[in-house]
Amino acid sequence: MQVGLEDVLNEYRDHTKFTTDELLMHKAALKNAEKQIAELQAENTRLKSESVPSDSE
């Protein structure tokens, strides 16, 4: 079972004293981090594919 970001934030909010605005900032930061991770994974995949020697060499 995959836990969604909303579920994590709701659970987090229940156990902290953060305001809604603070949680929204955390959510935005997490979304940005997820986007950056996806971009880095794509770049990593691209670089790996470029570094594989071809069989014709």
Task: Flag whether 41 is in a domain.
Answer: yes
Task: Flag whether 26 is in a domain.
Answer: yes
DSSP state of 21: H
What is d(CA 18, CA 29) in angstroms, rounded to the nearest whole number?
15
For position 55, what pLDDT does the model report? 62
Answer yes or no: is pLDDT of 2 > 70. no
The model's pLDDT over 18-56, given as tens digits with 9 standing for 90+, comes to: 788 888 999 999 999 999 999 999 999 999 999 877 665
Task: Flag whether 2 is in a domain.
Answer: no
Number of domains in the chain: 1
Q: Are 13 and 27 in contact (CB under 8 A)?
A: no
Task: Flag whether 3 is in a domain.
Answer: no
Task: Flag whether 53 is in a domain.
Answer: no
